């Protein structure tokens, strides 16, 4: 495969498009995904096919979700030489991943995510985590750092807690701006996310858990006692094994889970 894309539809800034073209990086992504016979691969935002065609060469079939109608025809035509491509022309945030997995088992998600939609896409995938085997995404390095951060880190926050409660998050490698056309102004990184076995996810009430995490990190300088004053009192916080005078960035994921579960139990009484 050449270093250039299969076709040259210009990137659209309003869609956050940055087309990957660096061959070495593409090979590393395909190796990280390591598709096996029987896998159901779904790529988000195939763009000009930089990852699509190598995956097709390796696996033979692939489903892609593409919002930009101008890319669909050239992508479909170019894919004929590589394998069987199914194109879903939709906004990925409206795609039901669970329905996609319904007939053929868990899906494997891959994608160079648009920077302006990366967090919404991640949270959308979380809603369907039971139908997803794993995810390999390229995002801004800053976002990947936040996804994988632990308590005490300056970048540990809502995204870290929400993702780590439901998935194992593993940063894989950094991608420089020059690997894209046009080059973004920041470094990117590839991350692997593997949903936890549903039996091991301790969150009893996902909505309550999300609300607790959201409020706790809403104003980072506030203590839990103050940040969560609309959710609970200091006694409940202490009963969950947490200090009311601690700040959200000091609390491990399991601590948020315990607190949210305690509140869910109170509500259920």
- Binding residues for S-adenosyl-L-methionine, by number, are 18, 20, 45, 66, 91, 112
Contact 70, 89 (CB under 8 A): no
Contact 83, 59 (CB under 8 A): yes
Rg (CA), the chain: 20
Contact 125, 191 (CB under 8 A): no
- The Cα 118–Cα 135 span in angstroms is 13
Which residues are documented as binding site?
18, 20, 45, 66, 91, 112
- The Cα 151–Cα 249 span in angstroms is 6
DSSP track, 194-210: EEPPGGG---S-HHHHH
The pair of three-digit structure tokens given for residue 256, joined into one six-digit string: 């948020």
Residue of 95, 80, 81 whose CA lies nearest to 45: 95
For residue 110, the surrounding DSSP H or E stretch is strand 107-112
């Amino acid at each position: 495969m050449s270093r250039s894309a299969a076709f040259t539809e210009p990137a659209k800034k309003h869609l956050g498009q940055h087309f990957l073209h660096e061959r070495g990086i593409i090979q590393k992504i395909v190796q990280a995904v390591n598709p096996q016979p029987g896998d159901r691969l779904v790529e988000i935002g195939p763009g000009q096919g930089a990852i699509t065609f190598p995956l097709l060469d390796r696996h033979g079939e692939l489903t892609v979700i593409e919002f930009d109608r101008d890319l669909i025809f050239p992508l479909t035509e170019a894919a004929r030489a590589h394998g069987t491509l199914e194109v879903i022309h939709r906004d990925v945030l409206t795609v039901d991943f669970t329905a996609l997995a319904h007939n053929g088992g868990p899906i494997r998600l891959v994608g160079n995510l648009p920077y302006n939609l990366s967090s919404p896409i991640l949270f959308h995938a979380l809603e369907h985590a039971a139908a997803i085997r794993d995810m390999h995404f390229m995002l801004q390095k800053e976002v990947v750092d936040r996804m994988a951060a632990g308590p005490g880190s300056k970048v540990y926050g809502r995204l870290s807690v929400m993702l780590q409660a439901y998935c194992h998050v593993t940063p894989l490698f950094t991608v420089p701006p020059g690997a894209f056309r046009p080059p973004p102004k920041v470094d990117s990184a590839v991350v692997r996310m593997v949903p936890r076995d549903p039996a091991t996810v301790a969150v009893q009430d996902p909505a309550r858990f999300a609300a607790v995490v959201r409020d706790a990190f809403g104003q980072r300088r506030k203590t839990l006692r103050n940040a969560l004053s609309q959710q609970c009192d200091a006694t409940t916080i202490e009963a969950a094994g947490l200090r009311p005078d601690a700040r959200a960035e000091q609390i491990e994921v399991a601590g948020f889970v315990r607190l949210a579960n305690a509140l869910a139990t109170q509500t259920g009484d």
